[in-house]
Amino acid sequence: TNTRLHPVQERIAKSHGTQCGFCTPGMVMSMYTLLRNHQQPSEEQLLEALGGNLCRCTGYRPILAGGRTFCVESDGCPQ
């Protein structure tokens, strides 16, 4: 979008998943592609989509927290 962050960017930022920013573009694009193919992905789909991206700063927890906000509600993927 031209005037504001995309929801994927916004949720990763709100969950503090952009510590150094080096991995962020790959994480954002992987999550964006996942959501284009699955509007409400499962946590397993989220983990698979992000599996090829390496992050050395945040430890993945905040990135996954942002991604989980798009997941269908289940025991492993809370809203």
* Total count of domains within the chain: 1
Per-residue model confidence (pLDDT) at position 74: 55
Tell me if 76 is assigned to some domain: no
| Residue 35 near residue 45 (C-beta atoms within 8 A) | no
pLDDT digits (tens, 9 = 90+) for 11-49: 999 999 988 889 999 999 999 999 999 999 999 999 999
Q: Which two tokens stand for residue 56?
A: 């050395």
Q: How far apart are the first and last CA of the chain?
A: 25
Q: What percent of the chain has pLDDT over 70?
A: 91
Per-residue model confidence (pLDDT) at position 77: 52
Tell me if 43 is assigned to some domain: yes
* CATH number, position 19: 1.10.150.120
Tell me if 1 is assigned to some domain: no
Tell me if 74 is assigned to some domain: no
Which residue segment(s) compose the domain that 16 sits in?
7-69
- If you average pLDDT over residues 43-72, what whole number do you get? 91
Per-residue model confidence (pLDDT) at position 43: 94
- If you average pLDDT over residues 45-69, what whole number do you get? 91
Tell me if 77 is assigned to some domain: no
Query: Which among 56, 78, 51, 70 is positioned nearest to 12, based on CA atoms?
Result: 70
Does 78 score more than 60 pLDDT?
A: no
Tell me if 54 is assigned to some domain: yes
